């Protein structure tokens, strides 16, 4: 297989797997499903990625730098302005994900795929590729949430990340479906999410500022 044809096949497999995992869930998708959707030979997954697990790792890595770079740009702007108010810091977490979803359908598939990974604790180490970006973000978040214990901050960040993937990456997923069934539309999911997460962290800061009796 020539290099050009090989790269094209690899990209088709990545795109098909990302879409299928996003829409069906990871367990419901077989290697055969992926190669058939990609128009590739059944052996293509093993040839290019070694295994289904290797394919999952490659999908995560595919856009991790893009998300991390955009978040770094927003944090650079914040630190350059000298302002690290809480809502702006939360916006720097939410906006890169929202922009990726809005850019094209495949961006939405990627975010929905990340949500699907949350259903598989054994795959959490695959997300270590985000560690450098996450560490920097948590450092800035600590400046915006003084007094909050680090374990509490990390927990709330994990919850916020989970909500972002579910709300933004799954417009027909459980959160938005439940809301619609109660006769309510979400006109601005990005703004609503930023407000929600900001409130979650602000309440935690106030809680830890309360005097003890």
Secondary structure of 102-148 in HEC code, one letter for each residue: HHCHHHHHHHHHHHHHCCCHHHHHHHHHHHHHHHHHHHHHHHHCCCC
* Per-residue pLDDT tens over the stretch 100-128: 999 988 999 999 999 999 889 999 999 99
Report pLDDT for 58.
96
Domain 1-50 grouped into CATH 1.10.10.60: yes
Report pLDDT for 172.
87
CB atoms within 10 A of CB 73: 13
pLDDT band with cut points at 50, 70 and 90 for residue 205 = confident
Question: Do 86 and 198 contact (CB within 8 A), yes or no?
Answer: yes
pTM for this model (two decimals): 0.88
Question: Do 162 and 111 contact (CB within 8 A), yes or no?
Answer: no
The residue ranges of every structural domain in the chain are: 1-50, 62-209
Report pLDDT for 184.
87
């Amino acid at each position: 297989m020539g290099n050009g044809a090989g790269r094209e096949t690899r990209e088709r497999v990545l795109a098909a797997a990302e879409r299928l995992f996003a829409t069906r869930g990871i367990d419901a998708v077989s290697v055969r499903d992926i190669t058939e959707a990609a128009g590739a030979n059944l052996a293509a997954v093993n040839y290019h990625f070694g295994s289904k697990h290797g394919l999952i790792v490659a999908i995560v890595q595919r856009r991790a730098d893009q998300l991390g770079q955009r978040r770094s740009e927003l944090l650079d702007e914040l630190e350059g302005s000298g302002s690290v108010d809480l809502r702006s810091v939360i916006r720097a977490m939410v906006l890169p994900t929202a922009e990726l979803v809005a850019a094209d359908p495949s961006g939405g598939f990627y975010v929905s795929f990340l949500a699907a990974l949350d259903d598989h604790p054994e795959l959490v180490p695959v997300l270590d590729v985000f560690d450098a970006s996450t560490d920097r973000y948590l450092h800035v978040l600590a400046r915006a949430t003084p007094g909050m214990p680090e374990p509490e901050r990390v927990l709330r960040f994990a919850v916020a990340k989970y909500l972002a993937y579910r709300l933004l990456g799954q417009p027909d997923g459980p959160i938005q479906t439940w809301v619609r069934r109660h006769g309510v539309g979400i006109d601005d999911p990005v703004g609503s999410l930023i407000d929600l997460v900001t409130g979650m962290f602000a309440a935690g800061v106030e809680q830890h500022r309360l005097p003890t009796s």
